[in-house]
Amino acid sequence: MAARGERAAGAAPAGRPRRLRLRAWLAEHRDAAAGSLRRLAREPLSSLMTLAVIGIALALPAGLHVLLANAQAVTGGWRGEARISLFLERGVDPARARALRRELAARPGVRAVELVTPEQALAEFRRLSGFGEALDALDENPLPATLVVTPAASDPEALVALAARLRALPEVEAAQLDLEWVRRLHAILALARRGVAVVAALLAAAVLLVVGNTIRLEIQNRREEIVVAKLIGATDGFIRRPFLYSGLWHGLLGAALAWLLVEGALALLAGPAARLAELYASAWRPAGLGAAASLALLAGGAALGLAGAWLAVARHLREIEPA
């Protein structure tokens, strides 16, 4: 049959060289991707609403992540750096305090010791507290001299033992190990991290369902087209492809929207946050998502969109058969 020879040459993929087949395959994907994008643009309002839902769902965990990263950056200065403050007895004179500082600095297990004289302590207190006038009313300096010990070790048990030894010194009235505070802070941050992970997982599931449902509706709307395509010999892959790309676009554009939301919110917060940091004489400035997290957000959104579309396609495309 004359018609068959030509058909075989043109249509049978196995008969074409690999390079041409690859090109045809790429062209099919490009067409499907562009077609899905056009379809998305054809109904801008409903597309935008779906994308907004996805964007907000992704922006929440992304925003919390940024918040947490900043909290860790702020508290990072204290990470593992426990300090032991030794408040000296009132009767210890300055010369003895200086000698003690040298003694302690020479001890094993101590990295550094800083002496804060009562005068220095008072000056700092006056500067930071704003109670200057109230202090003027006092007859004498109520603050003791303080030795701030920076331990070399960082494991809690060694620190506790060191604190106990230092507390036993006759010149020391009280020793305060602010390790507890560091531990609690780290525990709180760990809890917050876990919380963000849980929220992220829940919202990822929400995105999966939103995209899945969107694609399910799209499949229903294009039922007739799917039937006709199957009748004229479309493969499952050909029919599936535009829907998978649609899911991918939804996820990717939703993630881009989430990125804008997070960066926009950070831009709004940057001014006040910088002022707050200034008041604390801190060099810290709020950080944005950064390249790695931005990429992860976009890739995660795209992956979720694709997975959601796959769920819908796996469930609903098989049901549609020509009859």
From edge to edge, which strands make up the β-sheet containing 172-177? 110-116, 146-151, 84-88, 172-177
- Residue 49 beta carbon to another protein: minimum distance, rounded to whole angstroms: 22
Q: Which of positions 259-288 make contact with another protein (CB under 8 A)?
A: none
- Assess 10 for contact with another protein (CB under 8 A): yes
Name the one range near another protein by CB under 8 A: 88-96, 152-160, 192-200, 235-243: 235-243
- Assess 24 for contact with another protein (CB under 8 A): yes
Binder of another protein out of 2, 95, 137, 283 (CB under 8 A):
2
- Assess 27 for contact with another protein (CB under 8 A): yes
Range 218-225, long-range pairs (CB < 8 A, 24+ positions):
218/39, 218/243, 218/246, 219/243, 219/312, 219/313, 219/316, 219/317, 219/320, 220/316, 223/320
Burial of 206 (0-12, 13-18, 19+ CB in 10 A): middle
Task: Provide the sign of the torsion angle of the four alpha carbons 134, 136, 137, 139, taken in this order.
Answer: positive
Binder of another protein out of 236, 268, 271, 285 (CB under 8 A):
236
Q: Which of positions 200-229 make contact with another protein (CB under 8 A)?
A: 224-225, 227-229
- Residue 312 beta carbon to another protein: minimum distance, rounded to whole angstroms: 20
Binder of another protein out of 45, 128, 138, 232 (CB under 8 A):
232
- Assess 1 for contact with another protein (CB under 8 A): yes
CA distance 75 to 278: 16
- Assess 29 for contact with another protein (CB under 8 A): no
Binder of another protein out of 6, 155, 180, 278 (CB under 8 A):
6
Name the one range near another protein by CB under 8 A: 10-18, 188-196, 206-214, 246-254: 10-18
Site residue total, another protein (CB under 8 A): 29
- Assess 3 for contact with another protein (CB under 8 A): yes
- Residue 219 beta carbon to another protein: minimum distance, rounded to whole angstroms: 15
Nearer CB in complex with another protein: 10/108: 10
CB count, 10 Å around CB of 8?
11
Binder of another protein out of 137, 138, 291, 323 (CB under 8 A):
323
- Assess 22 for contact with another protein (CB under 8 A): no
- Assess 38 for contact with another protein (CB under 8 A): no
Binder of another protein out of 37, 56, 121, 234 (CB under 8 A):
234
- Assess 17 for contact with another protein (CB under 8 A): no
Residue 274 corresponds to which tokens in the numbers above? 């910088």
Name the one range near another protein by CB under 8 A: 6-14, 95-103, 193-201, 209-217: 6-14
Binder of another protein out of 28, 103, 124, 155 (CB under 8 A):
28
Q: Return residues touching another protein (CB under 8 A).
A: 1-4, 6-7, 10-11, 13, 24, 27-28, 31, 224-225, 227-236, 238, 321-323
